[in-house]
Amino acid sequence: MNSSFCLYAAWTDTALLDALRADQEQAFTEIYKRYCYRLFTVAYRKLKSSEVAEELVQDLFADLWIRRSSIQIQHLESYLFTAIRYRIINYIKAQQIKTGYESYCRLSANETDTDTEKSLALNDLSEALLASMRKLPEKSREIFQLSRLEHYTVPEISVRVKLSEKSVEYHLTKSLKLLRTYLRDYLLLALPLFLWLH
């Protein structure tokens, strides 16, 4: 047995390939011994993972054995190192896709959480605004609603409520000051609203 293995060790790659195509397992074993560590080293240097490097090398040799009778190889060494490089590239691409998908999922989850938080904050703010408006004096509340919620102009409001334009402006100013006081607990959330109120 040992003398047989020694015999294969002296064979050229071309002879080993011929023997491999003839289903000689000892030829396959010799190819494995001859190139396994070198291929592993290439994969490990690129991937920094002995487990993954070993898996890729094993996969390469398994494929070589399965396709031994049909595979077209002109130069064994070139074929093996090209094949391992393709496996390394495919592995890296697969990891990038996986990482990108995981990042997308995390981002989507964060956006959903943020949207939910925004929605809750806006609901709270809307409720606070309505509650604050109910605290306004009746005439100020009416004028504020006509101006900011129904978008009437000062002259139009003046006609509707039978007050001078200066009185309408006074009520609007008074309403804004009171609302700022009522809504001070929501100041940070309400900042865009206050910009709108101006």
Which segments of the chain have a pLDDT < 50? 1, 3, 189-190, 192-198
Task: State how far the Cα of 47 lies from the Cα of 90, in Å rounded to an integer.
Answer: 12
Q: Are the beta carbons of 69 and 17 closer than 8 angstroms?
A: no
Note whether residue 117 is domain-resident.
Answer: no
Q: Are the beta carbons of 16 and 40 closer than 8 angstroms?
A: no
Q: What are phi and psi of 150, to 5 degrees?
A: -110, -5
Note whether residue 130 is domain-resident.
Answer: no
DSSP state of 186: G
Indicate whether 7 and 69 sit together in one domain: yes
pLDDT (0 to 100) of residue 194: 46
Indicate whether 94 and 7 sit together in one domain: yes
Domain boundary among 99, 118, 153: 99
Q: Which two tokens stand for residue 77?
A: 């060494």
pLDDT (0 to 100) of residue 80: 95
Q: Are the beta carbons of 100 and 76 closer than 8 angstroms?
A: no
pLDDT (0 to 100) of residue 161: 85
pLDDT (0 to 100) of residue 96: 80
Domain count, the chain: 2
pTM listed for this prediction? 0.49
Q: Which domain holds residue 65?
A: 2-99
pLDDT (0 to 100) of residue 34: 93
Indicate whether 91 and 144 sit together in one domain: no
Task: State how far the Cα of 154 lies from the Cα of 147, in Å rounded to an integer.
Answer: 7
Q: Are the beta carbons of 175 and 139 closer than 8 angstroms?
A: no
